[in-house]
Structure 1
């Protein structure tokens, strides 16, 4: 039986959402939705500066370094996945594919970001561009990124995707899981392991509203689960992050509870 280690990281200050403080409660609720997981709550630094966000990242790194179970990181904003993914890059190198489910690209830099909020820069930082305090020791090759369900991209993000070979699969591309499987397989040479990042705004607002930056025409919850199941059936999943839950509707919690449980079960299945 796989040991699951749940890291609750209630970071909200790198979000651009006006209701971002709800992410603190969201992280708590998400962590509680994982059945049987060993739970570690990481204290987050106050403030929004890169140096303060780096403090939180270092605390996540320290917390995860001492634990051997399958890592499930519950945010908080997307910035909480900076260190878990950086750790996976250090461990697996070019075998690692980062599967980034998100309505947005999170591929801005401090110079291109319309909001200045780090949660819209975290994936770009992982590739080695951004605030020096928040850059990883080992950069993530952009060709090892698969963006899934992104539909609200800034011009600079679209340019980066085109220039650096990021695989971008729109919602309409994901009707058949085989398209996603092909994208993941093409993103790395040889044996592939996958880190799955889920920003809950990848879901369609008609089915889930508890996010700070909703975008229309997203995935249904059952579609998201089907896609992750397809990837897990083909490749080893080495980490999971679920982020950006701003609880505001009981119906959303009813939707999310079985979904989170199923996602964790899927990602930790024997391979």
Structure 2
């Protein structure tokens, strides 16, 4: 049997969350993940002019940069034609291109397991941040200009949220109810993956694309997330509750019923490493200009 080809996309996209820190988080993530001598890694070009004005166009902040990066990612995927895709992000919007591509490759037998405390199904009427609309785009809603780019839209039964803080859904999140999207809260999967396995079986899902937003994790268990920023007193959205061990168990159990062919890791914010780098940059011995 021919070995399946895996492509790694390094996509340090920050514009979807309007947060330049995602660039360093993505680049560090590329060193943290298990290394491979077989899989090819392709870096997507990301504009890093953080001082430039960031206008809202077609309802989306940084729309031109996001669209350019989306087009480049899709072109790479279509050219390389991998069987599996690992995405090292970046904000949550990095999942659009690979999940769209994989849904086409696997003929609708693909399911999305969205590991996130938030659903990312907003529209331009509720937010201008692209990373809050990405799953909506894949479902044919979200931001119209980006939804139109999706060649292989997903049906609601192909989506399952895990770790969703359902009781803290905001007005921008109500497509979860309107589309009757399946979900399990942190408590639902604290000790068992069975609800996710039941969804896989009921919908005859043979392949999985996993969106792993690190903010699904509890800040007690994992510190490199938005709401673990030092001295941050309040975070304006739901805070994750799952642990790394629980995520590993969920994905191990799920992979016994459906093959994981896509994995996007998003919103890695390693505060200690970023703050140390910024601090050291102020020390004269690191100044190469002299």
Same fold (TM over 0.5): yes
The SS at the match of 1:172 is coil
Moved over 4 A (4+): none
Query: Which position in structure 1 is the counterpart of 2:26?
Result: 27
Query: Which position in structure 1 is the counterpart of 2:125?
Result: 111
* Conserved 8 A contact 1:143-1:164: no
Q: 78-87 or 1-10, which moves further after superposition?
A: 1-10
Give 1:96-107 correspondences, 5 Å limit: 96-107=110-121
Alignment: residue pair count? 242
Give 1:1-271 correspondences, 5 Å limit: 3-16=5-18, 20-32=19-31, 33-36=33-36, 37-45=39-47, 48-67=61-80, 68=82, 70-113=84-127, 116-135=128-147, 136-151=150-165, 152-157=168-173, 159-174=174-189, 175-186=191-202, 188=203, 190-213=204-227, 215-216=238-239, 218-249=241-272
Inter-partner Cα distance in structure 1 for 2:78 and 2:34? 20
* Conserved 8 A contact 2:160-2:181: yes
Give the TM-score of the pair, scaled to structure 2: 0.77
Give the TM-score of the pair, scaled to structure 1: 0.82
Structure with greater helix percent? 1
User: Mind listing any 5+ residue stretches in structure 2 that lack a counterpart?
Assistant: 49-53, 55-60, 229-237, 274-290
- When Rg is computed on C-alpha atoms for both structures, the one with the higher figure is 2
User: Mind listing any 5+ residue stretches in structure 1 that lack a counterpart?
Assistant: 251-271
Measured after TM superposition, the shift of residue 69 of structure 1 is 5.4
